[in-house]
Amino acid sequence: MNRQVTTGTIYGVGLGPGDPDLISVRADRLVRTARHVAYFRKAGRPGQARRIVNDMLSPDAVEIPMEYPVTTEIPLHDPAYNACLSTFYVDCTTRLQSLAEAGEDVVVLCEGDPFFYGSFMHLYTRLNGKTPIQVVPAITGMSGAWTATGVPVTWGDDVMTVLMGTLPKDDLIRHMQAADALVIMKIGRNIDKVRDALHDSGRYNDAWLIEYATMPNQTVTPLAGAESKVTPYFSIIVVHGQGRRP
C-alpha cells in the first residue's frame, strides 16, 4: 500500500523593518524550526531578509536563494522587464510548489510585511488555491522609519499617502500636494526627481530622510541637510502630518 504524502505548507513570513528584535513571536518560531528556507536576493548578495535571520536558522535548514534576474539593467517600464520577472516568479513558484507537494513545509523570508509592496505577493498569487499557503504579517519598513524620527506621523484626521519614487514627477507632485502626511519609498536613483517634486509641491523643508531604519547603521536626517547623499535601497522619506489634536 502506498503511503499518502500530506501536502506541505508554504509560509510567507514577514520579518519586519530590519531589527531581529522586532520579529513577531510566530515568525520567530517558524524561522527557527524551518527545514526549508527560501528568500529573495540580488545575485552575489546575501539578501537583507537572510541577513535579518542570520543567527536564527537551524544548522540543518536547506536554504533556497531566489536571485532576481534583473534590477536596474532593464528600464522599469520596458515590457522586457516585466516579462523577465514574470518568468522568474513562475520558476520560483514551481520550485516551492514541488517541495510542498513532496510534503515539505517551506518558509519564505520577507522583508517588512509580505503583503506590502513585497516580492512574496507575486508568489502568493500564483500559489494561492493550488498549495496550502499562509502569511505571517509584520511591522512595515515605513513604520520603523517614522518611529525613528521620534515624531508621530499622523494626527487626528490626517490623510497619509504612500508614494513610490518610481512614479512620474507630475504624479508625485499631485499626490504630495493632496496628502497631509507622506511616506516615499523606492527612492534609490529616483532621489533627484523626488527632491524636485517635494520642492515643487512645497513639502521639501518638512521632509526627513531615514536610511536603514531600525538597523545598526540607521541614520535620520532632514532631507534639506542630505543634499550630497546618494540614498541606498533601504531609504524612506517621511513628511509628518500636522492635523487635529486635543
Residues 44 and 109 grouped into a single domain: yes
Task: Give the per-residue pLDDT at 155.
Answer: 97
Residues 85 and 175 grouped into a single domain: no
Q: How confident is the model at residue 74 (pLDDT cuts 50, 70, 90)?
A: low
> 132-162 b/e with 16+ CB inside 10 Å = b?
ebebbbbbbbbbbbbbbbeeebeeeebebeb
Alpha carbon distance 240, 14 (integer Å): 26
Which residues, 6+ apart, have CB-to-CB distance to 4 below 8 Å? Answer: none
Mean pLDDT of 232-236: 85
- The yes-or-no verdict on residue 86 having pLDDT over 80 is yes
Mean pLDDT of the chain: 93
Residues 96 and 204 grouped into a single domain: no
SS3 33: helix
Task: Give the per-residue pLDDT at 81.
Answer: 78
Residues 60 and 170 grouped into a single domain: no
Considering only CA atoms, which of 92, 81, 83 is closest in space to residue 126?
Answer: 92
Alpha carbon distance 33, 58 (integer Å): 7
Written as one string, the DSSP assignment of 140-172 is -HHHHHHHHTTS-S--TTPPEEEEETTS-HHHH
- The residue from 105, 123, 139 where one domain ends is 139
Indicate whether 211 belongs to any domain. yes
Domain count, the chain: 2
Mean pLDDT of 47-54: 95
Task: Give the per-residue pLDDT at 79.
Answer: 74
Q: Is the pTM of this model over 0.85?
A: yes
- The residue from 110, 139, 168 where one domain ends is 139
Q: How confident is the model at residue 71 (pLDDT cuts 50, 70, 90)?
A: low
- The yes-or-no verdict on residue 54 having pLDDT over 60 is yes
Comparison of pLDDT for 11 and 82, the residue scoring more = 11
CB atoms within 10 A of CB 27: 23
* pLDDT (tens digit per residue) in 173-182: 999 999 999 9
* pLDDT (tens digit per residue) in 92-149: 999 999 999 999 999 999 999 999 999 999 999 999 999 999 999 999 999 999 999 9
Q: What is the domain extent for residue 97?
A: 10-139
- The yes-or-no verdict on residue 2 having pLDDT over 70 is no
CATH code at 93?
A: 3.40.1010.10
- The residue from 115, 139, 163 where one domain ends is 139
- The yes-or-no verdict on residue 8 having pLDDT over 70 is yes
> 55-88 b/e with 16+ CB inside 10 Å = b?
ebbeeebeebebeeebeeebeeeeeebeeebeeb
